[in-house]
Amino acid sequence: MEENLVVVVVREFNAERDREAVEEMESRCEVGPSGKPAIFTDSMGDPICRIRHSPAYLMLVAEYGEERKIVGVIRGCIKTVTRGKKTLSEFPVYTKVAYILGLRVSPTHRRQGIGTKLVQHLEEWCKQKGAEYSYMATDCGNEPSINLFTLKFAYAKFRTPTILIDPVHAHRKPIGSKISIVRLSPPFAESVYRRLFSNSEFFPKDIDAIFSNKLNLGTFMALPKKWVPLWDPQTDKLPPSFSILSVWNSKEVFKFQVRGVSTLTYACCVGSRLLDGMMPWLRIPSIPDVFRPFGVYLLYGLHMEGKGGVGLMRGLCRFVHNMGREDVGCGAVVAEVGRRDPVREGVPHWRRFSWAEDVWCMKKLSGEESGDDTADDWIRSRPTSPVVFVDPRDF
């Protein structure tokens, strides 16, 4: 007697027809760092919004059975980024990479090969678009996802940046009377970034498109107040001591929500907000209302130089915290930095909320079938910098 085979169809996402079904399916898929007392759940408004700001992107859905029920989804985008610099060269090496994100399979349809089909179809599209490498990111405790990519698709663990999260309190954070914050124009910020991050990994070639995006809230520099009258931004010289970062309004793209905490934890969080609101001068480290959907500001392009750079970076992060405090719905300020990046020392964060390891796995797509095993392989080469540039469009 023949078994009835259930057909799974993978096709491109159709916004008008699929949006409601995808949102419903994703709402049942919990995401976030494992081992945390609270579970962060994606609550995106537009399912394709997280990738449509990239130069090339695709979203696929998986339909199951005769009812054509959507039970899986995956997203991908392609861009050109740096992979460091060659020895004795002043020019960065650019590579075309694909980023795979948002793989979700309905909890009731897992272990049926649906995730495998979605990855296979997306990888084929990446190859057709000329991507040389593809990579994905997940929490270090997400063993099913890591095993799928490393064991099934031959991805290799590549980088392990850290996600630092700082809740937005009811009170303003002091910046310091000796620190000045300067907003840089997009052209000047682009010039500075191309200089600072040419030796880093994953710095996007189209950084100008990011700066001109409506979600970009600006690039800011902190420097000692005494240097303000002495420094001319119109010159190519940078101050001897400064910190710099840019801010991306991720709360307009997706939202998080904390679930699964105890009644006592919930009461403590509410109490901290009430006390902070009534007595802001005490500067109680209150927890925002994370039990309802909230958004975040993402810090990217973080860099510091010179004496006092750590203090300048802290002042700059406090400045962004205060920006978020004035923006309704912003519950946290987030930064993702390389594990060995010295800038992490200057980024305020709560260890309880932050992710120690965000595992990035990578695979070489070009030359894969021919067994190309040349030395010019990004995965096997040593990094030329501890800096991993996090594209805000990928977060």
Q: What is the pLDDT of residue 368?
A: 54
> Which is more confident, 329 or 47?
329
Q: What is the pLDDT of residue 44?
A: 52
Q: What is the pLDDT of residue 281?
A: 83
Q: Which CATH number fits domain 165-346: 1.10.3290, 3.30.70, 3.40.630, 3.40.390?
A: 3.40.630
- The set of residues, in sequence order, having a beta carbon less than 8 Å from that of 149 and lying 6+ positions away, is 119, 136, 155, 361, 363
CA 265 to centroid of chain Cα atoms: 28
Measured between alpha carbons, how far is 72 from 117 in angstroms, rounded to an integer? 10
Q: What is the pLDDT of residue 255?
A: 81
Strand partners for 259: 39
pLDDT tens digits for range 31-89: 655 555 444 555 455 677 778 889 999 999 999 988 899 999 999 999 999 998 876 67
pLDDT tens digits for range 207-254: 999 999 999 999 999 999 998 888 887 777 899 999 999 999 998 888
pLDDT tens digits for range 283-317: 888 888 888 889 999 999 999 999 899 999 999 99
Report CA Rg, the chain.
22
Q: Using an 8 Å Cβ cutoff, are 64 and 279 in contact?
A: no
Query: What is the assigned CATH class of domain 8-160+359-394?
Result: alpha beta
| Angle, alpha carbons 386-387-388 (nearest 5°) | 120
Q: What is the pLDDT of residue 233?
A: 79
Band (2; pLDDT cuts 50, 70, 90):
very low
Measured between alpha carbons, how far is 252 from 111 in angstroms, rounded to an integer? 33
Q: What is the pLDDT of residue 258?
A: 77
pLDDT tens digits for range 266-283: 888 888 888 888 888 888
> Which is more confident, 324 or 292?
324
Q: What residue has token string 């240097």?
A: 227
What mean pLDDT value characterizes the chain? Answer: 87
Every domain range in the chain assigned CATH 3.40.630.30: 8-160+359-394
Q: Closest Cα partner for 338 from 134, 163, 167?
A: 163
What is the identity of the amino acid at 94? Y
> Which is more confident, 106 or 355?
106
Q: What is the pLDDT of residue 33?
A: 57
pLDDT tens digits for range 149-180: 999 999 999 999 999 999 999 889 999 899 99
> Which is more confident, 380 or 37?
380
Q: Using an 8 Å Cβ cutoff, are 115 and 72 in contact?
A: yes
Q: Closest Cα partner for 136 from 150, 151, 116?
A: 150
